Amino acid sequence: MSKSSESKSAVSRRSALKTLGLGAGAAAALPLWARYSSAETAAPIRIGFQKHATGIGAAYGRWYDRTSQAAVRLINEAGGINGRMVELVTEDDGTDPKRGAEVIEKFATQSNCDVAFGTLFSHVVVGSAPRAGELKLPYFVVSEGHHVASGMLNRYTVQPGITDVKSQVQAMAPFVSQNLGKKVTMIFPDYAFGHDHRDFFTAAIEAQGGEVVGLIPIPPTETSFTKYFPKIPRETEVIYHVMVGPGVLTFVKELGEFFGPSRPEIFGFIDSLEAVDLASPGLEFLEGTYFWEGNPRYAQPDQTEYDKHFRAAIGIDENGASINDSKDVSTYAHMFGCWETLYVIKAGMEAAGYAGPQDRAKLIEAVEAITTMPHSNEHPQGAKVFNGKTHQVFGPQYISKVVDGKLMVVHTASIEDGMYPDEVDYTTQAL
Amino acid sequence: MFHRFALVVALICAATRALAHAGEQGFVLLLPTQLYIIGGGLSVLATVLLISVLPQRMAVSLFRPTTIKRWRLARAKSGVSCIGFAVMVGLVFIGLTGPHDPNHNALPLAVWAMFWFGFVTLQGLMGDLWRWINPWTGPWLAIRRLGVRPIARLPRWLGYWPASLSFLAFAAVLLAHPSPSDPDALAAMVACYWVFHFIGMVVFGPAWLRRAEGLGVLLRCYASLSVAGQSAGRLRLGVPGWKIVTGPRPDTSLAVFIVILLAVGSFDGLNETFWWMARIGINPLEFPGRSAVVAQNLAGLGLAVPMLVAAYAMAIWLGVRLIGQGARFAAAFCALAPAILPIAFGYHFGHYMPGFLVQIQYVAGVIADAFGMGPVHVTTGFFNTYATVRAIWLLQAGSVVVGHILAIILSHVLALSLFGTHRKAAISQLPLAIFMVGYTVFGLWLLASPRGV
């Protein structure tokens, strides 16, 4: 506990130093505004929560909501932000880019939100961010897409609570090449998501002295996979798979039937099985295979106090399921991003002396000034390094092995493993 | 004969047991779905064979209701309808002023979970409850007491065609509106729907509600499937469909309305499948949202309705030609259309039931919230275990198969009363029976198909 409050204040102090002078100057020059802002302090800070309540993201939306509500409750119990309570203003974006942009507009123009927050699905982020930029509404996304750090968005869009796919994939390569094998065959869905994995991992494994010996793209509407498996080259030492959608269970079952007891090493991304019970029939074949996890779903023997705190606040058991229903499996690998992002918003607002929408630009600057986030109750997934220029956070990645139907962490990739050269400097863009 | 019937029952059981496979997404594809679909189709086919050898008297007596007691159904009181109206107004108000999350706002939950699944199902099981609680009758009687009288007659030739248009407008929202659960948008749509039909009622009187308000006509159609009902001043119970057998024959416009019900229900399932997504060039794994498929869904609806009406008409036309009574096509088209209702109702139940299992928990949450009780944990864990998923899918598939079996029997009995002899009825039913067996397979395939939304 004490460690966490120390770390939080360390971040806040650093950011506060940078913005303190700016805030004081503004207050002196604008006494009327200052009066306005002090009258405003009783009103809650309104965080527009762009929720995937309906559409293909609904399972994520449900858990992003629970996580965010828990974090906001704790923030309020601890006194809120700058002495003001925090209120989540939820709008359903239907997991739909067009509606996402409408929701952003609603936050800015109708519901008086101070910032927007929460989005997961990349296409919704990409559809919404331009409107947030035009409206100068700080937009905190939790999507793990590379679109923020790639430079395709804008200065008002920030991803400070979850790492991006490029970083995740890159961080896996050293472990895969050193422990599982150097000759990799990739099986991936044949569209942008799979292509990102293909491109990022191919580059990363080559940098480690390994090689991709086979690329097997699967059409997104495919529901039977056996016919693709003979294309796996004989020399393959590791299969890297990132299948998603309803076909995943069939994919795993058919892969198991194809290989029988003698199989190459298998490495996948838990995105395939997020919110799916690993004890489901047909998944036995996964025993002994490896997964990337954003945050370990199963409480580990060396579980931190921060992870305990995080699980308890949301109501999650040691298997990553709801304490109300052990079969209601959470989206544990991703939803910590909402929690951590809300604490970044808090730290940023405190550092900026945020008083109202007129301080939105200062909030962006304060967040850009953040550099490190220590492992703490506020950042239970692990310590982070934030890159203010690319608006992207970097953190540890976990590789877990399925042992007795549970994911046990066998390797923690360091923050540095996931870092790559900057592709943009948003701070050069006007606020 | 009993043995034959037992065989059919056994076949249904075998089919449903064979149909026992995972209902939700990932589980859907794990089991040999094709086998189960064939099982369902064979059950319906067995019913076709059975009914064709069943003595005429037995078939007819199946739908003969049992009289329970003298019972005159009270006339719908305006007070109950006024309460219905007040509830609707309250829900619209909540829609406009309440939470924007559709899972925490009472209006979308009331419309899509409680009404569209819950009440429609209740109506099909219990009979015409809508005549009591519809939100128009009460306010209309109130203004009637003030001396307001209809100013025009709804032309008889219009039949139920306005109801078809009204229902298609609803279907367009259901299928193609970008955000049908958005509380603001839904509040406006509910209010507009009520005002439009209230104006119609003021101008044309209650005939408007009977023949032009699409949802009311749908609900009355489904009410004709209920076990209990009143006829000749007595409460009677019978096999679902007895009210159709003993009731009046629909006219062409109502017959078409019934076929539209099935077309809309079927397309509502089809438009979610990977198959449909591939047709319209959408990647189901990164579904771009409803706003990206508005035109495609409207076009699909526009195609599905005439295609199904044509397919049904073709089956009827072939049937009457087979027995050399081509001139009775129109009569057969109208008389046999109600036999489609059990299919549409069974599919409606099967299609929406899994979603309802989640939505009803949100309803409980809203109620708990209103009374200051603790939060309700909404779980989808039952989509995550084999046993519960199996039970859910069984129920879905069972409702589809039973709906078709009932439709086959009902259709045969309706044909008997139309064509007089057992032989003619059986032969005339052949094309329609093939249509229904095909539709069983199609309905089960829809439930078993991977979905992208």
The confidence score (pLDDT) of residue A75 equals 97
Kindly determine whether residue A95 and residue B287, on different chains, have CB atoms separated by under 8 Å: yes
Kindly determine whether residue B178 and residue A193, on different chains, have CB atoms separated by under 8 Å: no
Closest approach of chain B CAs to the CA of A330, in angstroms? 10
Q: How many CB atoms lie within 10 A of CB B171?
A: 23
Q: How many CB atoms lie within 10 A of CB B170?
A: 17
Same domain (yes/no): A273, A359: no
Average pLDDT over every residue of A245-258: 87
Kindly determine whether residue A97 and residue B289, on different chains, have CB atoms separated by under 8 Å: yes
> What are the chain B neighbours of A247 within 8 Å (beta carbons)?
26, 29, 450
Chain B residue at shortest CA distance from A106: B100
What does the block give as tokens for B433?
A: 């029976």
Closest approach of chain A CAs to the CA of B358, in angstroms? 11
CA atoms within 13 A on the CB side of B334: 13
Same domain (yes/no): A245, A175: yes
- Complex ipTM > 0.90: no
Same domain (yes/no): A154, A185: no
Same domain (yes/no): A28, A150: yes
Determine, yes or no, domain membership for A401. Answer: no
Nearest to B442 by CA among B298, B315, B343: B343
Determine, yes or no, domain membership for A115. Answer: yes
Q: For residues B290 and A278, what is the distance between their CA atoms, to the nearest angstrom?
A: 31
Name residues whose C-beta falls within 8 Å of residue B45's C-beta, 6 or more positions apart in sequence. Answer: B437
pLDDT bin (cut points 50, 70, 90) of residue B5 is very low
Nearest to B1 by CA among B63, B65, B57: B57
Interface check for B97 against chain A (CB to CB < 8 A): the answer is no
Into how many domains does chain A fold? 2
Helix axes B252-270, B161-176, angle to 10 degrees: 10
Average pLDDT over every residue of B356-384: 91
> What are the chain A neighbours of B278 within 8 Å (beta carbons)?
221
Tell me the percentage of chain B whose pLDDT exceeds 70. Answer: 92
Q: For residues B233 and B165, what is the distance between their CA atoms, to the nearest angstrom?
A: 34
Kindly determine whether residue A90 and residue B287, on different chains, have CB atoms separated by under 8 Å: no
Q: Is A144 left (phi over 0), alpha (psi -120 to 50) or beta?
A: left
What does the block give as tokens for B216?
A: 């009311």
Kindly determine whether residue B291 and residue A246, on different chains, have CB atoms separated by under 8 Å: no
At residue B294, does pLDDT exceed 90?
Answer: yes
Determine, yes or no, domain membership for A46. Answer: yes
Same domain (yes/no): A269, A347: no
What does the block give as tokens for A167?
A: 């970083």
Domain boundary among the residues A293, A318, A340 is at A293
* Residue of B34, B285, B287, B380 best to disrupt the A interface, most CBs of A under 10 A: B285
Kindly determine whether residue B99 and residue A90, on different chains, have CB atoms separated by under 8 Å: yes
The confidence score (pLDDT) of residue B73 equals 59
Q: In the block, which residue shows the tokens 């139309």?
A: B418
What does the block give as tokens for B330?
A: 């129109």
Chain B residue at shortest CA distance from A66: B377
Chain B residue at shortest CA distance from A249: B26
pTM score, whole prediction: 0.87
> What are the chain B neighbours of A53 within 8 Å (beta carbons)?
101-103, 181
The confidence score (pLDDT) of residue A3 equals 34
Same domain (yes/no): A158, A173: no
Same domain (yes/no): A204, A95: no
Domain boundary among the residues A293, A316, A338 is at A293
Kindly determine whether residue B287 and residue A55, on different chains, have CB atoms separated by under 8 Å: yes
Interface check for B369 against chain A (CB to CB < 8 A): the answer is no
Q: What is the pLDDT of residues B125-147, one digit of tens each?
A: 999 999 999 999 999 999 999 99
Average pLDDT over every residue of B78-88: 90
Determine, yes or no, domain membership for A282. Answer: yes
Q: In the block, which residue shows the tokens 């045969």?
A: B412
| Among candidates B283, B377, B378 on the partner chain, residue whose Cβ is nearest the Cβ of A220 | B283
> What are the chain A neighbours of B452 within 8 Å (beta carbons)?
56
Determine, yes or no, domain membership for A111. Answer: yes
The confidence score (pLDDT) of residue A291 equals 94
The confidence score (pLDDT) of residue A25 equals 36
* Residue of A46, A62, A95, A96 best to disrupt the B interface, most CBs of B under 10 A: A96
What CATH number does the domain containing A217 carry? 3.40.50.2300
* Residue of B380, B386, B388, B392 best to disrupt the A interface, most CBs of A under 10 A: B380
Q: For residues A152 and B124, what is the distance between their CA atoms, to the nearest angstrom?
A: 53
Domain boundary among the residues A247, A270, A293 is at A293
Nearest to B289 by CA among A136, A333, A102: A102
Average pLDDT over every residue of A212-222: 93
> What are the chain B neighbours of A325 within 8 Å (beta carbons)?
377, 379, 381
What does the block give as tokens for A109?
A: 């123009």
Domain residue ranges in chain B: 22-64+262-452, 77-237
Q: For residues B14 and B367, what is the distance between their CA atoms, to the nearest angstrom?
A: 41
The confidence score (pLDDT) of residue B72 equals 62
Q: How many CB atoms lie within 10 A of CB B276?
A: 22
Helix axes B386-419, B329-336, angle to 10 degrees: 140
What does the block give as tokens for B162?
A: 């306005």
Chain B residue at shortest CA distance from A92: B101
What does the block give as tokens for B306?
A: 């005439």
Same domain (yes/no): A183, A154: no
Q: What is the pLDDT of residues A13-69, one digit of tens each?
A: 334 333 333 333 333 333 344 434 443 457 999 999 999 999 888 888 999 999 999
Beta strands in A201-284, from DSSP E residues, in sequence order? 211-218, 238-241, 265-269
Query: Long-range contacts: A388-391, Cβ < 8 Å, 24+?
Result: A388/A427, A389/A422, A389/A424, A389/A425, A389/A426, A389/A427, A390/A148, A390/A149, A390/A151, A390/A422, A390/A423, A390/A424, A390/A425, A390/A426, A391/A148, A391/A149, A391/A153, A391/A155, A391/A157, A391/A158, A391/A159, A391/A160, A391/A426
CA A29 to chain centre: 40
Same domain (yes/no): A243, A190: yes
Same domain (yes/no): A79, A208: no
What does the block give as tokens for B28?
A: 């859907």
Nearest to A342 by CA among A141, A147, A137, A130: A141
Same domain (yes/no): A125, A194: no
Name residues whose C-beta falls within 8 Å of residue A79's C-beta, 6 or more positions apart in sequence. Answer: none
DSSP string, A306-352: HHHHHHHHHTB-TTSBBSS-TT-B--HHHHHHHHHHHHHHHHHHHHH
Beta strands in B81-184, from DSSP E residues, in sequence order? none
Nearest to A251 by CA among B182, B450, B256, B318: B450
Average pLDDT over every residue of B239-259: 93
| Among candidates B103, B380, B452 on the partner chain, residue whose Cβ is nearest the Cβ of A328 | B380
SS (H, E, C) A356-387: CHHHHHHHHHHHHHCCEECCCCCCCCCCEEEE
Kindly determine whether residue B274 and residue A223, on different chains, have CB atoms separated by under 8 Å: yes
Is residue A140 within a helix (H) or strand (E), and if so which, with residue range? strand A139-140
Lowest mean pLDDT among A71-80, A185-194, A393-402, B27-36: B27-36
Interface check for B289 against chain A (CB to CB < 8 A): the answer is yes
Chain B 157-216, CB below 8 Å of chain A: which residues?
178-179, 181-182
Residue A169 sits at φ, ψ, to 5 deg, of -65, -45
Nearest to A184 by CA among A149, A210, A146: A210
Chain B residue at shortest CA distance from A253: B30
Cα pseudo-dihedral B394, B399, B403, B405, rounded to 10: 20
Kindly determine whether residue A55 and residue B25, on different chains, have CB atoms separated by under 8 Å: no
Chain B residue at shortest CA distance from A329: B381
Q: For residues A59 and A67, what is the distance between their CA atoms, to the nearest angstrom?
A: 13
Same domain (yes/no): A252, A273: yes
Range of the domain at A211: 166-293
